[in-house]
Amino acid sequence: MTAKKALITGITGQDGSYLAELLLEKGYWVHGIARRASTFNTERIDHLYEDPHHPQARLFLHYGDLTDGSRLANLLESIRPDEVYHLAAQSHVRVSFDEPEFTGNCTGLGTTRLLEAIRSVGLPCRFYQASSSEMFGSTPPPQCEETPFHPRSPYGVAKVYAYWATRNYREAYGIYAVNGILFNHESPRRGPTFVTRKVASAAARIKAGLQDLVYLGNLEARRDWGYAAEYVEAMWRMLQQEEADDYVIATGTSHSVRDFVELCFEHVGLDWRDHVRFDERYVRPSEVDHLVGDAAKAERLLGWKPTVRTPELARLMVDAELGALSRPSVPAAPTPGRAVLAPVS
Ligand code: NAP
Ligand code: GDD
């Protein structure tokens, strides 16, 4: 049987990197879309590098941007993937209040651009939309597939738009398009300004004597934090079903930001109260207070179940930070021989 071809948008992000690993392990040809930047942004996938001239190479990068619809259509036409995993987005909730218009364009309309490209090219591919628990916003937990949305940020609003665009293309054109409604998932590859990575990194650096304080916003918000490496398996399973459908992916437990801080500092033997200070710049104009997902449908139909809970996640993230601090630092500019992925362009 010929290997399947997947296209991942957002391959340079946290989830994109884990998903690329998973699909390569499964024997897929993996194509990824990356943004052109003046610095390298492929750090999370450099370890997957294979020289594209090598006959065995199975990972290929292409320049592209979610705001450029004709480029997306041209890429779909030339790659002709069997499965499209749409993970790219302006994904930071706090930033979305500062850049609401860009967030709507990228995170919301970006999905329509891809779906419309699939429709106009006439590709018989399957489509995964990275939907979010942020869509539930102020609707009280537990949240499942039937829970009404009440988004509380421009990011949440954009994700609701993209969720309905995905359902609409499924209903209107019969495209196999699914929404994975994923609750917060974290890892050592998490962006450094999301609260879990920020706190894990601060706890490790304070322990190592590299800093003394960390400034945070609201400590009362509660989140259902799972492990990203496990969540990408659920994405893949959603595209292997007979019928397209939408699924919540979560651990079913919740902890406050304060709990997470305590877990990280406890792990390095420090009292968090000595090192955490409040800064209102990290407070959002409207907050999502409490998210806890009910992933019973995913367990029943996809056979997916998480194993890593928040306390273990906090410890593994702090250990990764401590490990990185004890290794010699990687030079900022690539040294000759270091594999840096170059998009084909
Ligand atoms: P992430 O680490 O922030 O990665 C986002 C990716 O999107 C990066 O590869 C980024 O490229 C790319 N991107 C951003 N703007 C783009 C644009 N205009 N054109 C092309 N690419 C663009 O996010 P993540 O945590 O992996 O999350 C993956 C997806 O799941 C996102 O859609 C996010 O909103 C959604 N989601 C995440 C969670 C979570 O807890 N992690 C939960 C629910 C849903 P650069 O590397 O160049 O920045
Ligand atoms: N980022 C950040 N920085 N958050 C802070 C801070 C801080 O200094 N202090 C407190 N928080 C609180 C936020 O107010 C929020 O209630 C909580 O920590 C989690 O914030 P983030 O880690 O930024 O994640 P998020 O829940 O807003 O959004 C993430 O999860 C969504 C799924 O529910 C992102 O990954 C989204 O892309 C994703 O859709």
Is position 314 within any domain? no
Handedness of CA 332, 337, 343, 345 (dihedral sign): positive
Is position 148 within any domain? yes
Task: Enumerate residues lining ligand 1, CB below 6 A.
Answer: 10, 12-16, 35, 37, 41, 65-67, 87-91, 106, 130, 132, 182, 184-185, 191
Distance from the alpha carbon of residue 179 to the mean position of ligand 2, in angstroms: 21
**Binding site membership of 134 for ligand 2 (Cβ less than 6 Å):** yes
Distance from the alpha carbon of residue 195 to the mean position of ligand 2, in angstroms: 6
Q: Burial, 95: exposed, middle or buried (Cβ in 10 Å; 0-12, 13-18, 19+)?
A: middle
Is position 19 within any domain? yes
Is position 316 within any domain? no
Q: How many CB atoms lie within 10 A of CB 4?
A: 17
Distance from the alpha carbon of residue 199 to the mean position of ligand 1, in angstroms: 20
Q: What is the 3-state secondary structure (H, E, C) of 123-175?
A: CCCEEEEEEEHHHCCCCCCCECCCCCCCCCCHHHHHHHHHHHHHHHHHHHHCC
pLDDT for the residue 236: 98
**Lookup: tokens for 240:** 């292997």
Q: Which atom of ligand 1 is nearest to the CA of 64?
A: 20
**Binding site membership of 94 for ligand 2 (Cβ less than 6 Å):** yes
Which residue's alpha carbon is at the smallest distance from atom 10 of ligand 1? Answer: 10
What is the count of structural domains for the chain?
1
pTM of the model: 0.96
pLDDT for the residue 336: 39
pLDDT for the residue 92: 98
Is position 211 within any domain? no
- Give the chain's residues under pLDDT 50: 333-339, 345
Distance from the alpha carbon of residue 184 to the mean position of ligand 2, in angstroms: 8
Is position 285 within any domain? no
How far is it, in rounded angstroms, from Cα 94 to Cα 236? 29
Angle, CA 228 vertex, CA 148 and CA 110 arms, to 5°: 60
Is position 111 within any domain? yes
**For the chain, where are the alpha helices, taking DSSP H only?**
14-25, 69-79, 93-98, 100-103, 110-121, 154-173, 195-207, 228-238, 257-267, 296-302, 310-326
pLDDT for the residue 330: 55
State pLDDT tens for residues 5-59.
999 999 999 999 999 999 999 999 999 999 999 998 999 999 998 787 888 899 9
Q: Which atom of ligand 1 is nearest to the CA of 182?
A: 43
pLDDT for the residue 342: 59
- Domain boundaries, position 95: 5-190+224-252+292-306
Q: Burial, 259: exposed, middle or buried (Cβ in 10 Å; 0-12, 13-18, 19+)?
A: middle
Distance from the alpha carbon of residue 89 to the mean position of ligand 1, in angstroms: 4
Which ligand is closest to the CA of 214, given by its number?
2
pLDDT for the residue 337: 38
**Binding site membership of 118 for ligand 2 (Cβ less than 6 Å):** no
pLDDT for the residue 335: 42
Is position 209 within any domain? no
pLDDT for the residue 338: 38
Establish whether 155 is a catalytic residue. Answer: yes
Location of structure tokens 């999905």:
111
Q: Edge-to-edge strands of the sheet including 59-63?
A: 59-63, 29-34, 5-9, 83-86, 126-132, 176-182, 247-249
Which CATH number do you get for residue 138?
3.40.50.720
